[in-house]
Amino acid sequence: MNEALFTANNLWLLVATVFVFLMHLGFATLEAGLIRKKNTVNILFKNVMIVSIGLLTYYIVGFNLMYPGMNEGGFFGFAGFGLAAPDAPAIEYADGAYTYWTDFIFQAMFAATCCTIVSGAVAERIKLGAFLIFATLFVSISYPITGMWKWGAGWLDALGFYDFAGSTLVHAVGGWGALAAIILLGARSGKYTEKGIRPIPGHSMPLAAVGVFLLWFGWFGFNGGSVLSANPMSVSLVFVTTSLAAAAGAMGAFIASYFLFKTHDLSMVLNGILGGLVGITAGADLMSPGEAIIIGGIAGVIIPFSVVFFDKLELDDPVGATSVHLVCGIWGTLAVGIFGSMAGMEQFVNQLIGTAAIGTFTFAFAFGVMFLLKKTIGIRISKEEELKGLDIAEHDMAAYQDIENVQSYELSVK
Amino acid sequence: MNEALFTANNLWLLVATVFVFLMHLGFATLEAGLIRKKNTVNILFKNVMIVSIGLLTYYIVGFNLMYPGMNEGGFFGFAGFGLAAPDAPAIEYADGAYTYWTDFIFQAMFAATCCTIVSGAVAERIKLGAFLIFATLFVSISYPITGMWKWGAGWLDALGFYDFAGSTLVHAVGGWGALAAIILLGARSGKYTEKGIRPIPGHSMPLAAVGVFLLWFGWFGFNGGSVLSANPMSVSLVFVTTSLAAAAGAMGAFIASYFLFKTHDLSMVLNGILGGLVGITAGADLMSPGEAIIIGGIAGVIIPFSVVFFDKLELDDPVGATSVHLVCGIWGTLAVGIFGSMAGMEQFVNQLIGTAAIGTFTFAFAFGVMFLLKKTIGIRISKEEELKGLDIAEHDMAAYQDIENVQSYELSVK
Amino acid sequence: MNEALFTANNLWLLVATVFVFLMHLGFATLEAGLIRKKNTVNILFKNVMIVSIGLLTYYIVGFNLMYPGMNEGGFFGFAGFGLAAPDAPAIEYADGAYTYWTDFIFQAMFAATCCTIVSGAVAERIKLGAFLIFATLFVSISYPITGMWKWGAGWLDALGFYDFAGSTLVHAVGGWGALAAIILLGARSGKYTEKGIRPIPGHSMPLAAVGVFLLWFGWFGFNGGSVLSANPMSVSLVFVTTSLAAAAGAMGAFIASYFLFKTHDLSMVLNGILGGLVGITAGADLMSPGEAIIIGGIAGVIIPFSVVFFDKLELDDPVGATSVHLVCGIWGTLAVGIFGSMAGMEQFVNQLIGTAAIGTFTFAFAFGVMFLLKKTIGIRISKEEELKGLDIAEHDMAAYQDIENVQSYELSVK
């Protein structure tokens, strides 16, 4: 391959990697903003650790589980621990080429995102140790195995299932993990009472808004990088469909939440943007701009209804992660069978099979691990710890210091 | 054209698009930081909606109004609703080439910025509905029409008017819209009193500082992408002039505000950076580094004087948007006739004509729309709503939750 | 050279420049988060001014001091004030090429970072004027001179000293400056008391966490750009080693701080990430992924011990800058002699010589300047100013406004 073209293609994947990396900050600030002050250090801690655990375990086992380079059409493969030597040749794929290292680091940045999705849903009541063990197993075993089924040339790929950048493989996987976890964990104290559902508003809407903008920013790398080359027509189309779906998601959530709640609910519009982004992810390369707007708009409309639905079931999800990533992830995956250049009944059935198979495996894995943790070390903090907040209970630290402590100390000793 | 070079050029425009996108977060945090707590959700909501409205309307009508591809040298053209098919050929321009989709998404990211400028100026007292209607019309009709006059090969382009990346076409346009709006809207209650001008400090200087850094970050895409290719010499020169003008803007505002107020005013220095960036935008490709420093430094000096000037006129602009975008936008546009490789009396006159023509059209459009809205649905919230804040009045929501509500609830029921 | 390859290489350096630029926001938010509320405007002000001063002085003298293009193997050279004409030819280096302007702006973004490191360490008690004078001299004279010794083909380069992206040339240099400054400045009032060390917690952990994520983001440009081309194999390997070292740094600090303090200390883990990044910077292009994990992990373990060590010496560093940048900078520089493709006793000695020579020069320069400032205009604010906070003392401004002042004003006049 032409050296300059190789360089440009590889460069785009690296830049996309950096953009995807920033999604971890996006998740951290979004989740921190949507929870209470007293659990903020804890959620930041978890998000920082997840990126680190995700990268390290993807180096140790994840990458070789997800891309075993054997058993094409199979259910499981493993190419061994660690990474091969740095003189590995360039990987050619579709109309691009990139290096082995580029392949690893781009994929590694994806891996940690599904745990971050779980992190938001279980916020404010999970034990730190239990969560870190769960996250380690989820990201290093469950995510790469189902990832292999499609992106590692496994059986779903052979079947014809399509998921461009991970509406199912990343987002619904994180969403299923979140669902399993919140079922076993139970709701936050005081959320569902005899007098009805008590809203627990997030402590900082600026942090939440920062998070959504950064996630949108990162999604240009997430979807744009999934072209796996810098092919001008493909990447630029993906940019257009991704952006318009996000914008339509905002609009859909704006209208639907006004209809439902008779107010202009910022958190719904923020989640509507994320819903639109998750929804377009499976078919961002297949849709026309108009179809992207329809898919994103429907995802946005789904958001407030889904949030109400989970609340009715008393499944407490402080940040709406199940609505955004699970429900809109499924919607986006199925939409590939309804809209765009692959639409058709056969494709729709394939999308259903992939959704169901990956959902079943992931939910079972996550439920099993969480169940074992619940029966052994325990997954839920005590009532007293919940009242005090995880920041003090687990970290001996407050997220914000309002008192100028040395000043007051000095004045007091005068 | 060489495939690798096409790929690299197109890639730069896409990366620049992502950088420009982040300016929307920059505007959101800057504006949120410079206003009061009680209106923070509202400003975030507006900024989120503006990006979404901007992208969707630019898809529906804006792009085809701005680049009608006909009537060269004309005042108005329209190529029809929506976008053409994705098999559109690559667009060749200057020494670069990029796809039709790239062209659309890069330009679409610019479009929404001019509304965001208005959003800051009218903060803390405008009705949400009125603002959203205004923003929709402004971004989908006014901005693309005057944009076409220059960038769409219209009459100002034929005349010889020059505006590299939009000191006038984007920033002054937003500034004229802001000026029209704040004239009709009136000042915030309690700002101009019999006892003089009461400063209303912003509620979070960290948010404001984050905003300015992100805007500077995005400006590398805004100006650098406006080269419309990845031409090494052109883009790198633009990076140098843009950075030095921003730095000189900080320095100019630092000195001038110390001279005026005898203190080290962070908000002035932050706006000085933005003034420097707006000032260099019209001629970032024409200036030497030394000229960039002069242009940016003068813009920085202008900022505190302009802020004082608008306050003398009792034109209340909570974030200084008119000083930054209108005054420095005009300065930067005229500077093309004074400094750099196009300097000269004839060019200066062309710059004056362009400034005046676009200013007149935009001010008239914005004033007309706002006037009609004022006479129909009303543009100003009630005194009670202003006291309560827009967050409660329009969104039933507070930006920050200081009380750990469930905790206090639980303690109270014990 | 092939035009397309030239364009891709140059493009990567420009994009890396933008990433490095964002590190200034990372430093600003990290430092703001780790100090008290009452000094927040001041730290933001300093960080904004440092970028601006750094860029302007690097334009005036720094670049030509650092890359004099003469006296190869020498100690000092100066190519004159300002920058050459924009028609300067492309610079070819290693397997890449980039323009003169690209070279300048990429290097200029590095220059200001070492002052920012000092800024954090001296926070909450230094006079603004003294700091700005110190910063100007440090960034325009000290940093470029020692930088020239290696990157400008000076005597350390001739000797065989290696520092890929600046563990010593940038980070330890900043750290030595910080150490000299805090020795002369003394600790914050109330930090070291008869009853022992009083921790002074930072006022916003979300701001601190945002800072670390942004610094990690920027490090992709810092290390990746230091390849000085977009060579696919080199840049992608650097991305892998940089990311894994950061992740291992988090893990190392997590374990070591739990061992030391029996809690999950977020600020230690955040500094562990930075320690890992600083540690890998000298040899990011030489290490295997496994070696990167070892280097980063050790850096992470060092962090809590180093923080305790400096506290024992009563050297007060509010943000841990000396531990992160000085200690881990030295560790990373020496690690080039221990691990990776250049390891060996001779190389280790060269690394020691470089570390000692640059450390001695920088410490002496910084100590000398600070000492002169202390004896003339003074470097420390008064006790009263320290109690009030620098925001009010130097800027007449508070970082946060909790009172909705106009509301209370209006209610009071009713």
- Are B45 and A269 a contacting pair, CB within 8 Å? yes
Residues in chain A within 8 Å Cβ distance of B395: 263-266
CB contact under 8 A, C399 and B236: no
pTM over 0.95: yes
pLDDT tens digits, C334-344: 999 999 999 99
pLDDT higher at A129 or C403: A129
Distance from CA of C157 to the nearest CA of A (A): 26
pLDDT digits (tens, 9 = 90+) for B80-122: 898 876 566 678 876 778 999 999 999 999 998 888 999 999 9
**Quick check: A413 pLDDT over 60?**
no
Closest-CA residue of B relative to C105 is: B240
pLDDT in tens, A198-254: 999 999 999 999 999 999 999 999 999 999 999 999 999 999 999 999 999 999 999
Q: Please list, in sequence order, all residues whose beta carbon lies within 8 angstroms of the beta carbon of residue C204, skipping any fewer than 6 positions away.
A: A399, A400, A401, B206, C32, C33
How do residues C3-34 score in pLDDT, each as one tens digit?
999 999 999 999 999 999 999 999 999 999 99
Q: How confident is the model at residue C92 (pLDDT cuts 50, 70, 90)?
A: confident
Task: Cite the beta strand spans of B72-194 per DSSP E.
Answer: 91-93, 96-98, 192-193
Per-residue model confidence (pLDDT) at position A84: 75
Is the confidence at residue B413, as pLDDT, over 50?
no
pLDDT at B406: 45
Minimum-distance CB partner of B37 among C82, C98, C404 = C404
The 10 Å Cβ neighbour count of residue A356 is: 11
Q: Which residue in A11, A104, A204 has the most chain C C-beta atoms within 10 A of its own C-beta, making it the best mutation to test that interface?
A: A11
- Residue B365 structure tokens: 């459009």
Considering only CB atoms, which chain A residues are within 8 Å of C290? 82
Determine the residue type at B278: V
Find out whether A51 and A132 touch, Cβ atoms under 8 Å. no
Q: Is the pLDDT of residue A324 over 60?
A: yes
| Model confidence band, residue A411 (pLDDT cutoffs 50, 70, 90) | very low
The structure tokens listed for C393 are 């003392």
Residues of A in contact with B402 (CB under 8 A): 37, 203
What tens digit of pLDDT does each residue of C218-259 get?
Answer: 999 999 999 999 999 999 999 999 999 999 999 999 999 999
pLDDT, tens digit, 9 for 90 and up, residues A4-20? 999 999 999 999 999 99
Q: What is the ipTM of this complex?
A: 0.96
- Whether A116 shows a pLDDT value over 70: the answer reads yes
**Chain C: nearest CA to A100, how far in angstroms?**
8
The pLDDT assigned to B89 comes to 66
Nearest Cα of chain C lies from the Cα of B238 at a distance, in angstroms, of 9
State the DSSP H helix or E strand holding residue C193, giving kind and residue range, or none if neither: strand C192-193
Binned at pLDDT 50, 70 and 90, residue B403 comes out as: low
H-helix segments, A75-152: 100-121, 128-137, 143-150
Higher pLDDT, C410 or C78: C78
pLDDT confidence band for C413 (50 / 70 / 90):
very low
User: How many cross-chain Cβ pairs, A to B, lie less than 8 Å apart?
Assistant: 189
Q: Averaged over C76-96, what is the pLDDT?
A: 78
In the prediction, which pLDDT does C404 show? 58
pLDDT, position C200:
94
Picking from B8, B15, B265, the nearest residue to C4 by CB comes out as: B8
Least CA distance to B19: which residue of chain A? A217
Q: Average model confidence (pLDDT) for chain B?
A: 94
Give the DSSP H/E element, type plus range, for residue A91.
strand A91-93
Closest Cα partner for B20 from B216, B228, B163?
B216
Exposure string for B395-412, b = 16+ CB within 10 A, e = fewer:
bebbbbbeebbbbeeeee
Instruction: Give contacts of A270 with chain B, Cβ < 8 Å.
Output: 48
Which H or E run contains A11?
helix A3-34
- What is the tens place of the pLDDT at every residue in B338-390? 999 999 999 999 999 999 999 999 999 999 999 999 999 999 999 999 999 99
* Contact flag A52-C202 (C-beta cutoff 8 Å): no
**Touching partners of C (3+ C-beta pairs < 8 Å):** A, B
Which chain B residue has the Cα nearest residue A268?
A: B45
How far away is chain C from the Cα of B183, in angstroms, using its nearest Cα? 21
User: Closest to A49 (Cβ–Cβ): which among C11, C250, C290?
Assistant: C250
Residue B412 pLDDT exceeds 50:
no
C-alpha–C-alpha distance, residues B204 and A400, integer Å:
14
Split at pLDDT 50, 70, 90, the class of B73 is confident
Neighboring chain B residues of A201 at a CB cutoff of 8 Å: 397-398, 401, 405
Question: Residue B55 and residue A244: Cβ atoms within 8 Å?
Answer: yes
Using CB atoms, pick whichever of B204, B206, B389 lies closest to residue C29. B206
Q: Do B400 and A289 touch (CB under 8 A)?
A: no
Within 8 A of C4 by CB-CB distance, chain A residues are 4-5, 8
Give the one of A189, A237, A269 whose C-beta lies nearest to B86's C-beta. A237
DSSP sequence for B285-327? TT--HHHHHHHHHHHHHHHHHHHHHHHHTT---TT-HIIIIII
- The CA distance from A211 to A209, in Å, is 5
Average pLDDT over residues A299-309: 98
- Domains (range + CATH), chain B: 3-400 (1.10.3430.10)
Q: Would you state the pLDDT for residue A293?
A: 98
Touching subunits of B (3+ CB pairs, under 8 Å) are A, C
pLDDT, tens only, A161-199: 999 999 999 999 999 999 999 999 999 999 999 999 999
Nearest CB to C41: which of B2, B232, B266? B266
Q: Indicate the residue of B83, B396, B406 with minimum beta-carbon distance to A263.
A: B396
End-to-end CA distance of chain C: 76
Gap between the Cα atoms of B257 and C385, Å rounded: 22
In a mutagenesis test of the A interface, which of B61, B105, B391 is the best target, namely the one with the most A β-carbons within 10 Å?
B105
Q: What does the mean pLDDT of chain C come to?
A: 94
Least confident range from A248-257, B21-30, C392-401: namely C392-401
State residue B115's pLDDT score: 84
Task: Give the range among A315-319, C94-98, C265-269 with minimum mean pLDDT.
Answer: C94-98
The verdict on a CB contact (< 8 Å) between B289 and C398 is no
Which residues in chain B have their CB less than 8 angstroms from residue C204's CB? 206
In this complex, do C406 and B4 lie within 8 Å of one another by their Cβ atoms? Answer: no
CA distance C15 to chain A (A): 8
Beta bridge partners of C197: C192
Nearest to A190 among B6, B24, B406 (CB): B406
Q: In whole angstroms, give the CA distance from residue B281 to residue C102.
A: 19
Q: Which residues of C touch B224 (CB under 8 A)?
A: 14
- Tell me the three state secondary structure of residue B52: helix
A395–C266 CB contact, under 8 Å: yes
> Where does the pLDDT of residue A85 fall: very low under 50, low under 70, confident under 90, or very high at 90 and above?
low
Instruction: Please spell the DSSP secondary structure of C277-293, one letter per residue.
Output: HHHHHTTTTT--HHHHH
3-class SS at B227? coil
Give residue B1's pLDDT band: very low, low, confident or very high (50, 70, 90). low
Note the pLDDT of residue A115.
84
